[in-house]
């Protein structure tokens, strides 16, 4: 899922197969072409050998991230038929696809709205806004696209681009989590859910306190589709208690 301007997605999962009969590994190795950095070669090799990448391609999902949402939803029942969903940082569209499938959203009854400043292919059954979620008019545009109805679920797979400095990366992504949560607290239907990417780190205290004040259950979730060794986690806040000015301050 692609975050607001200047951010890039952090996706996860790794895997390799082994040959049968010949005894040779099916693990695909990528030769280092002239001018290609070692890090680029390793990333491409990981992609080619990632079972979730192959499965996403075979099943028509825009990205392997679709399986993260599917796994979390299978466990926690976040998405239900008839739900209205807003997906922040929607590109390339895998989460929107899963949300459409599980809510029954259709062109005649749009119940899934995604937003991203990057171009992305249309997602049948969803409305996609090409704009930065951090723009001042983005929240109103999202609500208009949802027909003025309060969403049952707010999803966010936004993450700041990594700098290589773990503390900095965590703080930048936590800011995006806070922005997404602020939006969710203003628009969610009572009883609704909030799911957001975050990173493992040490500054979630005030944020967790805010979540616990406003939702009946809060979980840290690491779905199997997250890459091994990734610091990526998801914050899942379930059953929104409803708006209360005294509870909504971070």
pLDDT tens by residue, 77-106 = 999 999 999 999 999 999 999 999 999 999
Among 3-12, 59-68, 119-128, 205-214, the range with the most confident prediction by mean pLDDT is 119-128
Classify 206 as helix, strand or coil: helix
Residue 201, pLDDT > 90, answer no
Out of 197, 212, 222, 241, which one is annotated catalytic? Answer: 197
Q: pLDDT-derived band of residue 43, with 50, 70 and 90 as boundaries?
A: very low
Residue owning tokens 């708006």? 243
Structural domains present in the chain:
63-240 (3.40.50.150)
Q: What is the pLDDT of residue 171?
A: 83
Residue with tokens 């939702």: 215
pTM of the model: 0.80
Active site residue 197: yes
Res 22 pLDDT > 90: no
DSSP states along 26-92: --------TT--HHHHHHHHHHHT-HHHHHHHHHT-SSTHHHHHHHHHHHH----TT--EEEES-TT
pLDDT (mean) for 48-64: 84
Distance between CA atoms of residues 123 and 156, nearest Å:
17
Average pLDDT over residues 179-187: 97
Residues 6+ apart with CB under 8 A from 77: none
């Amino acid at each position: 899922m692609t975050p607001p301007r200047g951010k890039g997605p952090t996706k996860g999962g790794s895997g390799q197969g082994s040959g049968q009969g010949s005894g040779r590994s099916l693990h695909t190795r990528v030769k280092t072409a002239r001018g290609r950095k070692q890090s680029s070669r390793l990333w491409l090799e990981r992609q080619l050998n990632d079972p979730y990448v192959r499965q996403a391609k075979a099943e028509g999902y825009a990205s392997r991230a679709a399986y993260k949402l599917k796994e979390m939803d299978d466990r926690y029942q976040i998405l239900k038929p008839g739900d209205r969903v807003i997906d922040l940082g929607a590109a390339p569209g895998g989460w929107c696809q899963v949300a459409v499938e599980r809510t029954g959203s259709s062109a005649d009854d749009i119940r899934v709205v995604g937003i991203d400043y990057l171009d992305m292919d249309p997602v049948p059954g969803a409305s996609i806004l090409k704009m930065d979620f951090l723009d001042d008019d983005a929240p109103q545009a999202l609500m208009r696209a949802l027909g003025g109805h309060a969403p049952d679920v707010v999803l966010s797979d936004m993450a700041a681009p990594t700098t290589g400095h773990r503390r900095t990366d965590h703080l930048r992504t936590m800011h995006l989590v806070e922005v997404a949560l602020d939006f969710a607290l203003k628009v969610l239907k009572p009883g609704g859910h909030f799911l957001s990417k975050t990173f493992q780190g040490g500054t979630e205290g005030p944020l967790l306190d805010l979540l616990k004040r406003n939702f009946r259950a809060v979980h840290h979730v690491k779905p199997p589709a997250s890459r091994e060794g990734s610091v990526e986690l998801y914050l899942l806040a379930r059953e929104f208690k409803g708006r209360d000015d005294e509870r909504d301050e971070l």
